[in-house]
Structure 1
Amino acid sequence: MNSMTTSTINLSKKISDPSAVLCIEGVGKKFGTIRVLEDVDFSLRSGEVVAIIGPSGSGKSTLLRCINQLEPPTEGIIRVGDVVIDATKTPSKQDLARLQKKLGMVFQSFNLFPHLTVLENVSLAQRKVLGRSKREADDRSMQLLTRVGLAAKAGIYPSRCSGGQQQRIAISRALALDPEIMLFDEPTSALDPEVGLEVLAVMRELADSGMTMIVVTHEMRFAEQVSDRVVVMAEGRIIEQGPSKEVMRNPQNERVQRFLTAVRDR
C-alpha cells in the first residue's frame, strides 16, 4: 500500500464526514521558531459556506495559504478531493497542480495585471492553465464579467476601475478556472465600507448559487447571515465552531465572547 493511500485511510478515521470535499488533520505551521498554526482539524462539505473569524494574528490567512500550498504547512495532512498532501513529504508537481486547480483564491489585494485589459486579465489564466482557445476563454470571461456586473468594463484597464470593481474582476478571474472550492482572504479589508458592499453582494450570490466557500472575514454580518458555519480562531487554533447564528449570538468560549463584544462595540 502506498503512502498516499495510507494517509487517506488515516484521515478518514479522524474526519468521518463522507461528504467532505476538504479535510485538514493536525495542520501546523512555523515560521522559524514562531508557531502560527497548531493542530488544526477542519472539514468542509460540498456547497457549504464557512466564515473564519477571530482577532488579527490568529492564523486565519495562514490557514488559507496552507490549504492551497502558498505556505506549505510544517505538520499535518490536507486532502482536497482525491489529492492528499502530507507535510512530512515533498509533494509532487503533479499533485500540487491538481490541488491548485481545485481551489480558487481571492486575496486582499487584487493582483491584476495593469498592462492587460479587464477581459485579458480574466482570460489569460484560462488559456495558460486550462488550455482554452482565445475565443473560449473570452466567452467564459464575458459570462463571468456579466455575472458580476462588469461586462461594460471588459475593454478598459484595471487602473480605470474602482477598488470594488477590481476585486470583482479578481473574483471573476478565480471563477474562470472552474474551481471546486473558493477561498477568500479578507476580500473587503482594503475597500471603503460602501464599496465593499458591492463585493459582498457578489459573494452572497455565489453562496446562494451553491459555491463551496471558505471566507476569512471581519464582516460579522456576512459571517452570521450568509455562511452556514462560523469557525473562530485565536493564537493559531480553532477555539469554537458551529452553526453561524449560534456562534455569533451565543458563543460558548469566553475568548470568543470577548472578541465578538469588542468588534460589535467599535
Structure 2
Amino acid sequence: MSFTAIQLRISYSGIRCLLAGLVLGALLSACASPPPGGVQVLDRNNRAAQAAQRRPVTQGQYRVQRGDTLYSIAFRFGWDWKALAARNGIAAPYLIRVGQVIRFDGQPGSRAPVVASAPVATPVPVRPPITSTQTTPARPPATPQKPPKVVQATTPMQPVQRSAGGWAWPTNGAVIGRFSSNGSLNKGIDIAGDLGQPVSAASDGSVVYAGSGLRGYGELVIIKHSDTYVSAYGHNRRLLVQEGQKVKAGQTIAEMGSTGTDRVKLHFEIRRQGKPVDPLQYLPRR
C-alpha cells in the first residue's frame, strides 16, 4: 500500500471520529437543555424542586372525620399545627369536632373543592311553624367538648442515650431506609426489628394522635414535643398509649409491626414546624 493511500485512510478515520464527537456533543447538549415549552426536568438534588415538594397543601378544604385531631390533619397535609390552627381560627386547647371544615386556603367564603369529607347526612324536611298556643320545650344547651385529661403514661421505661438536643433512638435495629429531602420519597427513616419489639418515645412530650387513620402509616403514634417539634412512629402492631398522655424519652409507646407495609419495621419521622427533617441529624450517633 502506498504512503498516499495510508494518509488518506488516516484522514478518513479522523473525520469519522470528529463527526461522531460532534453528534454526541449535540445529543448531550439537547439532553441538558430544557424541552420545548420551557419545562425543565429537575433532579432530586435541585433545591427548588425540594422546596416545591415540601410545600403544604394550600387549596381546598378537609372535613373532620371521627378519630382526627388537629395534629394528625396538619401532619397529613404538610402543615405546622400552629399555622393551621391560626388559619382556621382554632384557639387552645385546639379541639375540633366531626364534620368541621378545615380550610387550607384561608378563604371561608370561597367554594374550594373538598380534599376529603365525611358522608353527607340525608336532608330532613322542615316542619311548618307551630301556630297553637303550645310552646315547644327549649333544647338544653350543647355540652362543650372537654379537652382530654392529661395523665402520665404508665408503660415501661427503656434506658436510652440522648443526644445534645435531647433525642433518643426510638428502637434498636439497623436503619434500612434513609431520609430523602425529596418530599415524594421517604420523609423519615425505617428501622428493622422483630415483631412485637418495643418502640419508645424519642423525647419527652404528649401523645396527640394514636390510631390508623393516616393512609400509608398503619398503626401510628404522633407525639408533640414542643411548639416546634413533633415525632411520628408508624407501622406498629399494637399501640400502648392514648391521646392526651404524657411520655418520657425511652418510655414504651407501641410494639413494632408491619401494619400498612410489607415487612416488620418502624417508620420514624421528626417534623420541625410541620416540615420533615432528617432524624439522623437529631439522634445520637451509634
Q: Same fold (TM over 0.5)?
A: no
TM-score interval for Structure 1 and Structure 2 normalised by the shorter chain: under 0.3
Greater RCO (Cα-Cα under 8 Å, separation 6 or more): 1
Task: Output the TM-score relative to the length of structure 1.
Answer: 0.24
Higher helix share: 1
Larger radius of gyration: 2
